[in-house]
Amino acid sequence: MKTKLSLLFIAFASLFVQAQNTEACTETISLMGTLAKAKDVAAYDYLATLRKECPSFHKSIYTYGEVVIEMKIDKATTAEEKEKYVRDLMKLYDEYDANFPNNGAGNKMKKGLLLFDKKVGTDQEIYALLDDAFKTDYANFRYAKAMYVYFELLVKDFKAGNKGIELQQVFDKYDDLSVKLAEEEKELTEEKDALLSKEEAGQALTDKETKRKDRIDNSLEIFAGVTASMDGIIVELSTCDKLIPFYQKSFEQNKNNEQWLKRAADRLEAKECDNSPLFTKISEALYKLNPSADAAYKLGVVEYQKKNTTKAMEYFNQAANLYNDNTKKANVYYKMATIYSKSNKVQSRTYARKALSVKPSYGKAYLLIAQLYGSSINECGDNPFDKRAVYWLAAQYADKAAATDASLKGIASKTAASYRAAAPTKTDIFNEGKAGQRIAFGCWIGESVVVPNL
């Protein structure tokens, strides 16, 4: 009986201590959070207690802790003090991962970016951290800036002749990062497309959805900027004069390597080296190896370069049908739309609309339709006023491009403004007495527009 009572007492005592610890940890987190929100560095003392006494109590220790140590870094008065707290934040990231594995915070990536942003450590240390994060925590390597820094440091070493880095390694890293950028952009655009589809259906977005859409637009702009910057770097390193002999030399040993063939074809096309016999040879090898969507698309480019437009369209349609990725499918339809824009406006608009049907945020398709209409004033309308009224319709499509694709906002808005400037003036509207009237275009356009009210 004494033994049972002793065990019962120990159990109750343990529960009591645990309850006290839980209460203490909760209170300390609350105090730290309050001070952190007030931007009071005194929160750091509470963080120290939590890291020692309650390291696995709650994730908020680390989310608030990151803010708290960032304040200490910002208030540091010497380089030594600044580095001390930078290293402390890196240690906090490690503690977060140790106590809450699979937290999805991307702490490995954050460590490298932290050193870069705070100008602490060497390029070699930063690159090593980012390289490890990319290879071991790929899913959470999601910051566009981290991708750019990672690539830029590799290129810097390549140009300096460090570590024996070869051009192929630079190309491979560019391709790997381009895939990651595309994955992140795809996730964002699919979310945005769902919101745009809701708006197109006449349903108003909630305040939360509107804010989310704005955040997505901002993120997509950042990703577009990083992609453009990386493209700028790779452009400097790759010209047709360099690429063709570079890939020609490696073709035989890689002619059965699907990834190598695809990446080589992508780069040759991106650099407008797609009229070279090597591009044809690589594309044919790729299609023979696996008649995939990518391979069909490349052969479409080959046939178009040979001016076999009908055959090219067959391959492009095959590619579009095979693609499951809506962005890639839309890209093919847009390619077809741009080709037809020079000879068949109806077909061009058809494929532009196909691009929009699979990807509502594909602003380039709206802009292309605007340009098709803007170049058709002499084909539509029964009189000079009605002919120039087409510009209002063109402006509306340019507005849609600006609204759906933040990266096009500048050029699309300027295009819309130029169309409206070319449309009938207020004096013209008054003289014709057509304010508020609807003008229908019975030509190939088959749409209508309402004349602005005075």
Residues 166-186 pLDDT 10s: 888 998 899 899 889 989 999
Task: Dump pLDDT digits (tens) for 76-112.
Answer: 999 999 999 999 999 999 999 999 999 999 999 999 9
Q: Is the per-residue pLDDT at 7 higher than 70?
A: no
**Range of weakest confidence among 107-111, 269-273, 353-357:** 269-273
Q: For residue 51, count other CB atoms closer than 10 A to its CB.
A: 17
Mean pLDDT of 242-260: 90
Q: Is the per-residue pLDDT at 395 higher than 60?
A: yes
* pLDDT band, residue 10 (cuts 50/70/90): very low
C-alpha distances out from residue 218 to 146, 227, 288, 365, 434, Å: 17, 14, 41, 21, 40
* pLDDT band, residue 15 (cuts 50/70/90): very low
Predicted pLDDT at 9: 41
What the chain holds in terms of domains, given with CATH numbers, is: 24-105 (no CATH), 121-234 (no CATH), 238-322 (1.25.40), 349-454 (no CATH)
Predicted pLDDT at 12: 41
What's the whole-model pTM score?
Answer: 0.72
Predicted pLDDT at 11: 40
* pLDDT band, residue 164 (cuts 50/70/90): confident
With a pLDDT cut of 90, the percent of the chain lying above it is 77
What span, in angstroms and rounded, lies between the C-alpha atoms of 298 and 105?
38
Mean pLDDT of 312-336: 96
Judge whether 267 and 259 are in contact, CB under 8 Å.
no
Predicted pLDDT at 3: 52
- Kind plus residue range of the DSSP H or E element containing 279: helix 277-289
Task: Dump pLDDT digits (tens) for 440-450.
Answer: 998 999 999 99
Predicted pLDDT at 8: 39
With a pLDDT cut of 70, the percent of the chain lying above it is 96
What span, in angstroms and rounded, lies between the C-alpha atoms of 4 and 391?
91
Adjacent-strand bridge partners of 403: none
What span, in angstroms and rounded, lies between the C-alpha atoms of 48 and 54?
10
Q: Which of 328, 417, 408, 327 is nearest to 366 (CA)?
A: 408
Pairing relation of β-strands 438-440 and 448-450? antiparallel
**Please, where are the H alpha helices in 359-451?**
363-374, 384-404, 409-422, 426-432
Q: Report the Cα 219 to chain-centroid distance in Å.
A: 7
Dihedrals phi, psi of 237, to nearest 5 degrees: -90, -15
Mean pLDDT of 395-410: 93
Provide the sign of the torsion angle of the four alpha carbons 84, 87, 92, 98, taken in this order. Answer: negative
Task: Dump pLDDT digits (tens) for 189-236.
Answer: 999 999 999 988 889 999 999 999 999 999 998 998 898 899 888 878
Per the prediction, the chain carries an average pLDDT of: 91
